[in-house]
Amino acid sequence: MKIVTRTTAINNLKKHIGKDLRKLALQYGITTYETGKQNKGWKGLVLERLAGLENNVSKAPNGLSYELKSVSFHKVKNELAPKETMAITMINPEELKQHSFFESHCWTKLKSIVFCAVMWHGQNSESAELLKVASLDFAEDDDLIKEIKADYDFIREKLIKHGFESLTGKDGKWIQARTKGTGGINPRTGKRRPITRAFYARTSLVKKIFEIAS
């Protein structure tokens, strides 16, 4: 079985910068909107193919593992900017209490992500070009990493002192602990759904990662 390392995946993806993922999806037989309903994972499936991750190919083993994430960019005042925040990982309150930043699932996920900027032309658009490929390949003493760590430490301390309910998306300069999921009242049971939260990269962090990579 062929193994595709993170570096190989990034290099493979970079060869396709400027290409239209929608056209490639049609070539690969990956449905996008053809059924009348969007296949939400279509960009990820195309990116996996471009990275070299086909059916009989394996990602590198633990320690070298990675995750491809497509991030939609759009034009704001003639400048490209991320369209939305990006989920990093779900928050497990007990794990967050116990683990410092560099031991955390948040850091493990963040440093493993291969960010793929994709142009957004509107809902159900006929085109979606791959703009750039980037990753968070920095040393642990990098200033940006220190600031992300400070966000994590603040959120962790708040959880320990004030509980899970106290966490809010307002906290954090680069990452935030935001509600994820439907929440609210379950109409079938009449009971409130459990609150779930996840770490998200703010649009400013996504933008910064691509700026550093350029």
- Give residue-wise pLDDT tens across range 174-205: 999 988 765 556 667 767 667 789 999 999 99
Q: Is 69 helix (H, G, I), strand (E, B) or coil?
A: strand
Return the ∠ at Cα 82 (arms to 78 and 87), rounded to 5°.
175
Q: Where are the domains of the chain?
A: 2-213
pLDDT for 62 beyond 50 = no
Q: What value does the mean pLDDT take over residues 76-92?
A: 91
Instruction: Find the helix or strand (DSSP H, E) in which 10 lies.
Output: helix 6-14
Band (pLDDT 50/70/90 cuts) for residue 63 is: very low
Residue 208 C-alpha from the chain's centroid: 14
Sign of torsion, CA 20 26 32 36?
positive
List the structure tokens of 59.
Answer: 């990602």
Q: Rounded to whole angstroms, what are the CA distances from 153 to 101, 129, 175? A: 7, 37, 11
Q: What string of DSSP letters covers 186-209?
A: -TTT-SBPPP-EEEEE-HHHHHHH
Q: Where are the beta strands (DSSP E) in 65-168?
A: 67-76, 79-82, 86-90, 113-119, 130-135
Percent of the chain with pLDDT over 90: 48
- Residue 124 reports pLDDT greater than 90: no
pLDDT band at 121 (very low <50, low <70, confident <90, very high): confident
Task: State the virtual CA torsion across 12, 20, 202, 214 in degrees, nearest 10.
Answer: 50
Question: Where is pLDDT greater, at 73 or 66?
Answer: 73
Mean pLDDT value across the chain = 85
Question: What is the enclosing helix (H) or strand (E) of 11?
Answer: helix 6-14
Q: Which residue has the tokens 């910068």?
A: 17
Most confident of 55-69, 97-111, 124-138, 190-204: 97-111
For domain 2-213, is the CATH number 2.60.120.260? no
Q: Which residue has the higher pLDDT, 156 or 42?
A: 156
